[in-house]
Structure 1
Amino acid sequence: MSVPSSPVDSLRRASQFDINGAYRRILADEKISTPLAAILALTELIEQSNAGTMFELVQALHEGAEALRKQYRNSISINAGCELFIAFVTLFPHESASFNDLKIELVKQGREYANEALSYREKIAQQALGFIKDGSVILTHSYSRVVMQALLLAHNQKRISVYVTEARPRGLGLDRVKTQEALATAGIPCTVVLDSAVAYVMDKVDLVLVGSEAVVESGGLINAVGSNQMAIIAKAANKPVYAMAESYKFHRLFPLSQYDLPTHTSNVLSFPRQPARPSVSKSFPSSPIKPTAQRHPSSQATFFSEYQMTPEQIRLNPEVDYTRPDLISLVFSDVGILTPEGVSQYLVGMFAG
């Protein structure tokens, strides 16, 4: 007669599974978003686990989720996916003949959900289409797969133009490059806007369309830093702000301010302990700088590259911010077009089983 394994033994075996390696491998697929990659990584953990009871399995899943969270400075989207999947496992009816059969069924259900979730962006794009009028000028921020799909769909049927922000500090504007290139390739007129020029351009804009890292329990939005100031300016200019989010990004958080986000630490936007000279790549020249018009283009580019923010300064800045629900007009999701209050109601029902 075999001796039942203890929870400690099961956790030790689960810890041998490289969940971070599985997560990175899954995320390499351009179609897979962060929460889905987390769900699929936890699905593989179940497949590799020797847990013999639901208690052991849930323990192992929590350990795996924590291992994923520790690897990333911004783990909000990972949290959303892990929380959703662990709640699903916990609430899943135990009707299988054996616990091993139950694990097989959970793995099957997890993969089927992820496969189905790949169609969510198309559903959301279809929902947003009626809110984008012919001739619309749209402002978007950072790179979002679902926003990109909505813009491409609208372009196929209507005339649109898009303003794309720099979206710093993410890759020093690489999100902007990615968005701009995708729009230009599709033949959509687009212009890059400085993050500091959002208020300047807002009067030309018909609507703001943004993706999301997570939609929280208040109905507010967590997205690339700069989304909040964009929504504040849009509200002041009486322009609608539409958020787009797959339902697996709905997250049971209730932040009241920027400083309630899990990503906020004491280092974010902190002051140096001792006064120091301006922290730039090199000292400014003592002689006056010649006017830009008199400088050779190549030397101008060299000048700006020499006086960019340092990596240390960039790391002190937040990657995401929180946008209050009163600044968001609607949330387009695969479960419907929701008001921020509707998001709260949906989350209560989703995690209540």
Structure 2
Amino acid sequence: MYDLMDTAEKIRTMEIRGAGRIAVAASAALRDHARTLSSLSAEEFEKSINEVARILVETRPTAVSLPNAVALTKKHSSRNATEAIAEIVANSERFIKNANEALDKIGRVGARRIRDGDVIMTHCNSHAAIAIIKTAFKQGKKISVIATESRPRRQGFITIRELNDAGIPTTLIVDSAVRLVMKDVDLVIVGADSIAVNGALVNKIGTSQLALAAREARKNVLVAAETYKFSPNTILGQMVEIEDRSSNEVIDPDMLKEMPNVKVRNPAFDITPPEYIDLIITDAGAFPPAMAYMVIKEYLGLDLVDLK
């Protein structure tokens, strides 16, 4: 049972982190809350569901998997609360099932792009990117990984633990070493928080510098992303909001108080242009960035465009 406010707080504070895990948790929280609303009138039910959706979506403004999961889960046609709840529960269970299966599909599709002996660089902690790497390793390919620290929250530490436990040789580097080390890399694989209609990638801060260094060094960049990470609202020109997080993640608050002329910016994400991306690996197959609109249209549906 997912408690709504507890789940929302865990997403906001990053106790639940990663676009895929956020999406699944939000869908489950909306489902479980809907089950408590059977006694409401149709009008009251709609009001409550929309308020719950708002609370969940506002916790993390950048990861489009969150609003997509909420929108896909809350869709219903019935004006009867009991019937609407049944639709929402079915939507959620279908979404969570597809989300869980997506990683296996991405792993299989992406592993075809990895050659025996490849050195792979990755950034932050992406279950989709790791699925590709693990699948290739299980296929017997002798690969190794260079993982960035991914400051300020050091999600790279989660990645190196997962890769270590899978038996994959891994090297941890500080973020600022990316350009220096890129000469030793054969392939870059990163995850995604959002993908715009033009194929631009919104992902953990520092992703764009990996892509830029890879382009300079003529290395291919693969993005691993479930289809629900594509952003329908960018069709209308809406920009993906870049989340700024607390300075406390970067510097001790007491130290900052001693320096009244200093301020800290802590953007959680950056944008990688589509021309720096060679291929997007999804659960529906592999696509060049230019086909992002097709993915949105065929696999998410244009009826999500105006949903908030």
Change (3 A) 1:132 1:248: same
Q: Which deviations, in whole Å up to 9, do the C-alpha atoms of 1:184-210 show, x marking residues without a partner?
A: 222211111221111111111111000
Q: In structure 2, what is the Cα distance between the partners aligned to 1:103 and 1:124?
A: 31
Q: In structure 2, what is the Cα distance between the partners aligned to 1:124 and 1:320?
A: 23
Q: What SS does the corresponding residue of 1:254 show, helix, strand or coil? A: helix
Change (3 A) 1:168 1:340: same
Q: Which deviations, in whole Å up to 9, do the C-alpha atoms of 1:109-149 show, x marking residues without a partner?
A: 31232133211101100001110000001000011112222
Alignment equivalent of 2:146, drawn from 144, 163, 175: 163
TM-score (norm 1): 0.71
User: Which moves more between the two structures, 185-194 or 328-337?
Assistant: 185-194
Q: Which deviations, in whole Å up to 9, do the C-alpha atoms of 1:76-122 show, x marking residues without a partner?
A: 22x533344425644x454x9x5422322321231232133211101
Q: What SS does the corresponding residue of 2:234 show, helix, strand or coil? A: coil
Which residue is 2:41 aligned to? 52
Alignment equivalent of 2:66, drawn from 77, 81, 95: 81
Which residue is 2:163 aligned to? 183
Shift of 1:64: 1.5
Determine if the alignment matches structure 1 residue 127 to structure 2 residue 109. yes
Q: In structure 2, what is the Cα distance between the partners aligned to 1:188 and 1:327?
A: 27
Which residue is 2:197 aligned to? 217
CA contact (8 A) 1:210 1:242 kept: yes
CA contact (8 A) 2:110 2:281 kept: yes
CA contact (8 A) 2:57 2:67 kept: no
RMSD of Structure 2 on Structure 1 (CA):
3.4
Shift of 1:341: 1.9
Change (3 A) 1:327 1:57: farther
Unaligned stretches of 5+ residues in structure 1: 1-16, 269-278, 284-311
Shift of 1:216: 2.2
Structure possessing the higher radius of gyration over alpha carbons: 1
Q: In structure 2, what is the Cα distance between the partners aligned to 1:61 and 1:239?
A: 46
Shift of 1:48: 1.8
Determine if the alignment matches structure 1 residue 262 to structure 2 residue 241. yes
Percent identity of equivalent pairs? 27
Shift of 1:253: 4.6
Q: In structure 1, what is the Cα distance between the partners aligned to 2:77 and 2:55?
A: 27
Q: In structure 2, what is the Cα distance between the partners aligned to 1:81 and 1:264?
A: 14
Change (3 A) 1:80 1:147: closer
Q: In structure 2, what is the Cα distance between the partners aligned to 1:33 and 1:325?
A: 25
Q: In structure 1, what is the Cα distance between the partners aligned to 2:165 and 2:175?
A: 23
Q: Which deviations, in whole Å up to 9, do the C-alpha atoms of 1:312-334 show, x marking residues without a partner?
A: 96x62211111111111111111
Which residue is 1:344 aligned to? 293
Which residue is 1:19 aligned to? 4
User: Across the two proteins, how many residue pairs are aligned to each other?
Assistant: 286
Alignment equivalent of 2:183, drawn from 203, 210, 225: 203
